[in-house]
């Protein structure tokens, strides 16, 4: 169980997150949605330890992890797929997947992981993680690096952004599988109706506050009638 | 050669074995072992220290090893090696130098290598430089490489210096005729108060000649690196120079690009990027469980791979 208690974050005199209190249960599939700039990415980064909140605490399975570093949280089983994938000169897709799995996987295993995100694996394993890969390819590799880690708690920041419709179906398969196997908690930041519709709970964030938490039946109407939350790809 | 010599030699040229067909091993300023073949002839120079290496025309899959090791502290070893590559020949040349210095005097190796590529020949040149030993004496390596390329010849040069060299001035010159291709990739790591200067001086004289230089370097500690390239396009030609450097701690890197187009069809590009490791890269690897130091090592190792 993950508990966020009184999490606040302010920058440049602007309240980005305002006293967030949230409890996320094990093996559930959560979606965070809300307008651009509402604080979704910041919240996810705070959970991963990539951003330190100004106040508040984070409790994971009764352990206070507020002061744990990113890699300590990774060791606890947290995974994080960045909204904008990071590129590396010299590191290959294979290198990244070895780091993600934490062992010397062979190329066949690496290919299996890649095929889950719909990448014709052989063509990609030895590619360098640089801008010779398209945005959509990098995004899918980013997602692959997270599922390769088999996290207990995984965070995906707008996984659908930049992904074509054809690849989107692989993404849905991944999330349905994660949802079905109940092997951990999944938190997906998304604007995509199809992803939202498989969530156990949808968390609507607005201006740094939780406006509503509910399930698809009660929430979809609120979201769809609200003119703000539309797909976007800002940071 | 004692056990340490053999180990040092192994580090310089991993691919040299007892079965190697053509080689010359130089230790402390003298050739200690040499072998030629029917196609590739190694002849010692008479007027100065060094070799003439003749590769017969049409030679296919030729492999030459010419490693140098220096274990004597205080020695300055200067060597002139000329490679004469015949028409249509295709060879791989492994060179490099390891300096093992256990004492307090400076050891120096200046290798002046000239390559004469005849028409349609192809050379892959692999060069590795390293220093080791616990002595306070410096390990200095100053390689000069001159490349003269005749019509339709091509050459790739992979040059690595990632350990223990205190000071280095590396000069590479190229004169390219029609339809030639020169590809150079350089990897340099400096630490402590080491210095490394690299100069590329390439003249693209022939129509459709091209050069591509990729330099990746890391400057740690309080080391200093300088990268200068001076490319002249005298004809319809193409040049792409990429200089990427990571700086750490007090490391300093200076890049001096000079590209000079003297023909309206010359297309010359110079890109230089210097900076510390990107925070996002560290963060990404940390989300996969590496601590900051491990993440940094992975990034640098990949970068210099
Ligand atoms: N470190 C920061 N400094 C200043 N402003 C920030 C910082 N981090 C986030 N913001 C701002 O906070 C707001 C919320 O950002 P973000 O969490 O990325 O929103 P979302 O992911 O919902 O689009 C944005 O206006 C963003 O510019
Ligand atoms: Mg965002």
The answer, yes or no, to whether any atom of ligand 1 lies below 6 A from the CB of A194, is no
Rounded-to-integer distance, Cα B56 and Cα B38, Å: 9
Dump pLDDT digits (tens) for B231-263.
Answer: 999 999 999 999 999 999 999 999 999 999 999
- pLDDT tens digits, one per residue of B261-281: 999 999 999 999 999 999 999
What is the best residue among A12, A39, A231 to mutate for testing ligand 1's pocket, by most ligand atoms within 8 Å of CB?
Answer: A39
Q: What is the pTM of this model?
A: 0.87
In a domain, residue B79? The reply is yes
**What are the E-state strand segments in chain A?**
2-11, 14-24, 29-33, 55-60, 63-64, 78-81, 153-157, 185-189, 201-206, 209-214
CA A69 to chain centre: 18
Preferred mutation among B282, B287, B296 to probe A, highest tally of A CBs within 10 A: B287
CA dihedral B197, B198, B201, B204 (to 10 degrees): -160
Please indicate, yes or no, if residue B131 is contained in any of the structural domains: yes
Counted domains in chain B: 1
CB-defined contacts A:B, below 8 A: 62
Residue of A nearest to B282 (CA): A86
User: Is residue B134 included in any domain, yes or no?
Assistant: yes
Question: What does the pLDDT read at residue A225?
Answer: 62
Return d(Cα B271, Cα B297) in angstroms, integer.
25
Residue A231: per-residue pLDDT: 45
Quick one: pLDDT at residue A232?
Answer: 42
B24, B33 contact by CB (below 8 A): yes
The ipTM of this complex is: 0.92
Positions of chain A with pLDDT lower than 50, given as ranges:
228-235
Paired with B225 in beta bridges are B196, B253
Cα gap A151→A149, rounded to integer Å: 6
B284 within some domain: no
Domains of chain A with CATH codes = 2-226 (3.40.50.300)
> What was the pLDDT predicted at A12?
94
Cβ atoms < 10 Å from Cβ of B67: 22
Q: Can you spell out the DSSP letters for A109-142?
A: HHHHHHHHTT--GGGTTTSBSSTTS-HHHHHHHH
As a whole number of angstroms, the distance between CA B43 and CA B81 comes to 10
* String of DSSP letters for B130-156: EEE-S-SS-EEE--EEEEEE-TT-EEE
Selection from B97, B95, B44 nearest residue B69 by Cα: B97
Around ion ligand 2, residues with a beta carbon closer than 5 Å are A 41
Residue A208 phi, psi (nearest 5): 75, 10
Q: How far is the CA of B189 from the centre of ligand 2 (A)?
A: 37
CA–CA gap between residue A111 and residue A96 (Å, rounded) = 12
Question: Mutate which of B244, B274, B288 to test chain A, going by most A C-beta atoms within 10 A?
Answer: B288
Q: What is the pLDDT of residues B105-133, one digit of tens each?
A: 999 999 999 999 999 999 999 999 999 99
DSSP type of residue B79: E
- The confidence score (pLDDT) of residue B162 equals 86
Query: Is B304 domain-assigned?
Result: no
The domain in which residue B234 lies consists of 3-279
The H or E element that residue A101 is part of is helix A93-101
Give tens-digit pLDDT for A128-170.
999 999 988 999 999 999 999 999 999 999 999 888 888 888 8
Indicate whether B111 belongs to any domain.
yes
Task: Identify the closest residue of chain A to B305 by CA–CA distance.
Answer: A90
**A235 ligand 1 Cβ < 6 A:** yes
Residue B32 C-alpha, separation from nearest chain A C-alpha, in angstroms: 38
Q: Torsions phi, psi of A198, nearest 5? A: -100, 0
> A145: Cβ below 6 Å to ligand 1?
no
Rounded distance between C-alpha atoms, residue A37 and residue A234, angstroms: 8
Chain A residue at shortest CA distance from B246: A89
Tell me if B292 is assigned to some domain: no
Any atom of ligand 1 within 6 Å of the Cβ of A11 = yes
pLDDT at B74: 96
Task: Decide if B242 is inside a domain.
Answer: yes
Give mean pLDDT, residues B209-226.
97
- Shortest Cα–Cα distance, B258 to chain A (Å): 24
């Amino acid at each position: 169980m993950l508990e966020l208690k009184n999490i606040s974050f302010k920058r440049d005199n602007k309240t980005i997150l305002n006293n967030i209190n949230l409890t996320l249960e094990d093996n559930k599939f959560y979606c965070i949605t809300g307008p651009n700039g509402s604080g979704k990415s910041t919240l996810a980064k705070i959970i991963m330890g990539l951003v330190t909140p100004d106040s508040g605490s984070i409790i994971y399975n009764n352990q206070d992890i507020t002061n744990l570093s990113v890699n300590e949280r990774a060791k606890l089983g947290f995974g994080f797929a960045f909204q904008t994938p990071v590129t590396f000169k010299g590191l290959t897709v294979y290198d990244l997947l070895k780091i993600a799995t934490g062992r010397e996987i062979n190329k066949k295993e690496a290919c299996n992981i890649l095929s889950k995100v719909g990448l014709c694996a052989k063509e990609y394993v030895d590619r360098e993680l640089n801008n010779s890969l398209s945005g959509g390819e990098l995004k899918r590799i980013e997602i692959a690096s997270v599922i390769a880690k088999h996290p207990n708690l995984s965070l995906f920041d707008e996984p659908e952004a930049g992904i074509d419709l054809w690849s989107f179906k692989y993404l849905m398969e991944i999330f349905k599988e994660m949802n079905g196997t109940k092997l951990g908690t999944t938190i997906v930041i998304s604007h995509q109706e199809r992803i939202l519709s498989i969530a156990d709970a949808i968390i609507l964030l607005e201006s740094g506050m939780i406006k509503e938490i509910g399930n698809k039946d009660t929430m979809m109407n609120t979201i769809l009638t609200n003119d703000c939350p539309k797909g976007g790809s800002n940071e | 050669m004692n056990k340490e010599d053999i180990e040092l030699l192994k580090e310089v040229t991993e691919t040299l074995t007892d079965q190697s067909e053509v080689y010359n091993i130089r230790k402390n300023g003298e050739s200690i072992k040499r072998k030629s073949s029917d196609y590739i002839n190694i002849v010692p120079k008479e007027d100065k220290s060094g070799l003439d290496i003749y590769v017969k025309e049409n030679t296919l899959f030729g492999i030459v090893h010419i490693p140098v090791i220096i274990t004597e502290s205080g020695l300055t070893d200067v060597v002139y090696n000329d490679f004469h590559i015949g028409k249509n020949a295709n060879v791989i040349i492994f060179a490099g130098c390891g300096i093992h210095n256990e004492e307090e005097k400076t050891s120096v190796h200046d290798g002046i290598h000239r390559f004469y590529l005849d028409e349609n020949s192809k050379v892959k040149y692999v060069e590795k430089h390293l220093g080791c030993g616990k002595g306070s004496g410096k390990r200095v390596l100053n390689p000069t490489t001159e490349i003269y390329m005749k019509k339709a010849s091509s050459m790739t040069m992979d040059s690595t210096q990632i350990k223990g060299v205190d000071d280095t001035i590396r000069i590479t010159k190229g004169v390219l005729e029609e339809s030639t291709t020169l590809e150079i990739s350089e990897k340099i790591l400096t630490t402590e108060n080491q210095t490394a200067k690299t100069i590329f001086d390439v003249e693209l004289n022939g129509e459709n000649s091209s050069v591509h230089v990729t330099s990746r370097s890391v400057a740690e500690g309080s080391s200093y690196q300088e990268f200068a390239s001076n490319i002249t396009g005298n004809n319809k030609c193409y040049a792409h120079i990429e200089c990427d450097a990571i700086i750490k701690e007090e490391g300093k890197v200076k890049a001096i690009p000079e590209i000079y187009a003297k023909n309206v069809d010359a297309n010359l590009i110079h890109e230089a990027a210097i900076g510390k490791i990107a925070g996002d890269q560290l963060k990404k690897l940390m989300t996969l469980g590496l601590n900051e130091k491990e993440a940094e090592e992975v990034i640098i190792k990949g970068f210099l791979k």
